[in-house]
Amino acid sequence: MTMTDDDFLDLVEELQRKIEYEEEKNYSKIVIHEYRNPTYFGVLDNPDLFAKVKGPCNDTMKITMKINNNRITEARFWTDGCGASIACGNMLLKMIKGKTLLEAERITSEDLIRSLDGLPVEHRHCADLAVDTLNKCLKEYEK
């Protein structure tokens, strides 16, 4: 039996529906929105601050920032991690934009998880990775 183009497209659509169903079962609407629409994904040219951290699950996150008058004026993140890592990076940068460095330093993993309306236990390390990368970035400024 040979698969037609229509059969193949039907199979792809069915797989996509299953993936979306599993996502909606496991993640909040906010998490899904953030990783499907990451507005802060990328790397800034000539950043004032840069940090890169490899997490315990081997995901890597980078954060680049521009600072003006002790405020974060621009920031971008990059990760090779899963959707939860993308959501955490994007939401964290939304949280810090326009904040002072001290205000940004006070953000915890729990704050980030609350802003995402929760994360499954097995993906909470993604919030830690994002916050750890931010904190490393901010420590670079102190030097």
CATH code: domain of residue 122? 3.90.1010.10
Would you say residue 54 lies in a domain? yes
Would you say residue 135 lies in a domain? yes
User: What pLDDT, on a 0 to 100 scale, did the predictor assign at position 80?
Assistant: 96
Select the more confidently predicted residue: 44 or 24: 44
Would you say residue 103 lies in a domain? yes
Select the more confidently predicted residue: 143 or 30: 30
Would you say residue 89 lies in a domain? yes
Would you say residue 55 lies in a domain? yes
pLDDT tens by residue, 115-134: 999 999 999 999 999 999 99
Would you say residue 10 lies in a domain? no
pLDDT tens by residue, 44-80: 999 999 999 999 889 999 999 999 999 999 999 999 9
Report the 3 state secondary structure along the chain: CCCCHHHHHHHHHHHHHHHHHHHHHHCCHHHHHHHHCCCCECCCCCCCEEEEEECCCCCEEEEEEEEECCEEEEEEEEECCCHHHHHHHHHHHHHHCCCEHHHHHCCCHHHHHHHCCCCCHHHHHHHHHHHHHHHHHHHHHHC
How many domains does one find in the chain? Answer: 1
Would you say residue 15 lies in a domain? no
The whole-chain average pLDDT of the chain stands at 92
The model's confidence at residue 141, banded by pLDDT at 50, 70 and 90, is confident
Give the structural domain span for 79: 30-142
Would you say residue 25 lies in a domain? no
Answer whether residue 112 shows pLDDT above 90. Answer: yes
